[in-house]
Structure 1
Amino acid sequence: MDEMDPLKEFLLKYFMPEKCYDELFLNFNFLHVPCLKIVLSKTLGIWIMLGTVLVKLPQIYKLMRAKRAEGLSFISILFELFAITGSMVFCIAHNFPIGAWGETLFIVIQTLIIGFLIQHFGGNTARGLGFLAVYCSLVSLLISPLTPMSIVLMIHASNMPATIMGQLIQAGTNYHNGHTGQLSAISVFLLLAGSLARVFSSVLDTGDSLMTLTCITASCCNGIIAGQVLCYWNRGPTAKEKKE
């Protein structure tokens, strides 16, 4: 029994309350629906958190390895940064503990790196540095007492539409180019998996039809890009595009 204690502690801490542990592991009631919902919800939550932390790393690696950024839309990155920053600033403004938004900060840093690399490998290193400086200045302003809370709330409320717009812009760029360039397939599919997980978690945890619809819309946008990655799998930029 002692050998099971660390496992039980782990399961109770991250996946289920004790009553569900008893139902599943002592009573062997594997069809206990309420407990299955709890376990699924917590599992999806952990997957979303891990996906948020890891989703951009393959993209950064691919850009650094190729030393090119064809196919990545800088405008799409700006929309994505707007959305992520809205959530981060909202949490900071409400003095939430860093555990509630630490992964958001991590994804902001990764997205900033990607934005800089797009400019750097496009021959605009100075513009990339300016982009970083302007972003840091704006964030400093947003989290300062000079910014009314109404503006913070407005930015936070528009994060999902901004995310969707950014994805559609990237999808449009892919379609216009006829390839996905240096877009990382791993990052794309991790993003799709994360958005699908958010659909299920919104259904299980909130039951809010508007939030669920928003998550479904975001998943559809991610699905379009994932479909383009598969469709354009063996295509890349032409020699003329690479030269440019």
Structure 2
Amino acid sequence: MAEILKGLLLGVLSQKCYNEYFLKYNFLDVPCFKSTLSKGLGIGIILGSILVKVPQIFKILQSKSADGINIYGVYLELFAITANFAYSYVMGFPFSAWGEGTFLAIQTAMIAALVLHYGGAPMKGGIFLSVYCAIVSVLVSGYTSTDILWTMQAVTVPIILIAKSIQIGTNYKNGSTGQLSFITCFLLFGGSVARIFTSIQETGDSIIILTYCVSTIANGAIVLQMLWYWNVEKTIKVKGKKKPKRA
């Protein structure tokens, strides 16, 4: 039992930190605290990412509509997510530093397929998923140059801004956030904030850190929009329920 527990702890702690905590009982070691916090946050983000976009998927399925979701914004977001996890995987960064990208990519690809499906192009949805899987296989196969992957990762910074700006513009134009899920948007914002810290600790890669900084700002803007339009929509509904006064 002790060995099993040790194995679980070593999934979060390095051997050095395990020795500091459980052999030397030095619980005030600052580097170990930062490392452990980073690992714990990384694992938490990965576990959360398994379901982070499920509310969005269910909302589309339940309403049988993808109104308010800009497909081009979804495409660009999927590119950014894919470039991030493919680059991190090939560079050999710890899974705890990028693992959520795999789950986010799967869910984002499903959202793109659903937007196409409910947009009147069900065949395109199926074709899109097939092509996407093929592209990912090539990127992580080891045959794609690391220079290409680094370039893809680098361009995700402006791509994230463009993708989120497209969605922000769509929301502004519609005066509503449509079928966007607040839970999903808020979790994405929280995850990107945490990823700034874990990326500094576990990768030290400036382009990865910059990507998450930009993602945090962009996701935060959409969360603020959702809060704003939520209040506007509630006000409109309340006014609509008021009966007009008789003359």
TM range (shorter): 0.7 to 0.9
Residue in structure 2 matched with residue 168 of structure 1 by the alignment: 165
TM-score using structure 1 length: 0.75
2:56 aligned with 1:36? no
Do residues 187 (structure 1) and 184 (structure 2) align?
yes
Which is further off, 170-179 or 146-155? 146-155
CA contact (8 A) 2:45 2:100 kept: no
Secondary structure of the equivalent of 1:167? helix
Point out the more displaced range, 163-172 or 217-226. Answer: 163-172
What is the number of equivalent residue pairs in this alignment?
231
Matched, 1:86 2:63: no
Q: Distance in 2 between matches of 1:129 and 1:233?
A: 33
* 1:185-210 deviation line (CA, Å, top 9, x unaligned): 11111101110001222344456666
Structure 1 unaligned regions, length at least 5:
239-244
| Aligned pairs for 1:54-133 within 5 A | 54-90=51-87, 94=90, 103-133=100-130
Q: 1: distance between equivalents of 2:69 and 2:76?
A: 13
**Paired residue type of 2:80:** A
Alignment of 1:139-158 (within 5 A): 139=136, 150-158=147-155
Deviation at 1:211, TM superposition (A): 4.8
Give me the whole-angstrom Cα distance separating, in 2, the residues matched to 1:139 and 1:59. Answer: 23
Closer, same or farther in 2 for the Cα pair 1:39/1:120, shift >3 Å? Answer: same
Contact 2:21–2:27 (Cα < 8 Å) also in 1: no
Please give the alpha-carbon distance, in whole angstroms, between the structure 2 residues aligned to 1:111 and 1:202: 22
Aligned 8 A contact 2:156 2:211 in 1: no
Write the distance in 2 (CA, Å) between the matches of 1:90 and 1:217. Answer: 18
What displacement does 1:67 show? 1.2
Residue in 2 aligned with 1:241?
none
Residue type of the alignment partner of 2:174: N
CA distance in 1, matches of 2:230, 2:193: 22
Deviation, structure 1 residue 224:
0.6
Residue 40 of structure 1, CA deviation: 1.2
| Preserved CA contact (<8 Å) 2:195 2:212 | yes
C-alpha distance in 2 between matches for 1:208 and 1:95:
10
Cα distance, 1:35 vs. partner? 2.7
Distance 2:189 2:6 in 1: 32
SS at match of 2:178: coil
| Distance in 2, Cα, partners of 1:91 & 1:204 | 14
Q: Which amino acid aligns with 1:135?
A: Y
Q: Which moved further from structure 2: 61-70 or 14-23?
A: 14-23
CA contact (8 A) 1:47 1:194 kept: no
Check whether the contact 1:55–1:187 (CA below 8 A) recurs between aligned residues. yes
In structure 2, C-alpha distance between the alignment counterparts of 1:64 and 1:75, rounded to whole Å: 20
Provide the alpha-carbon RMSD of the alignment: 3.6
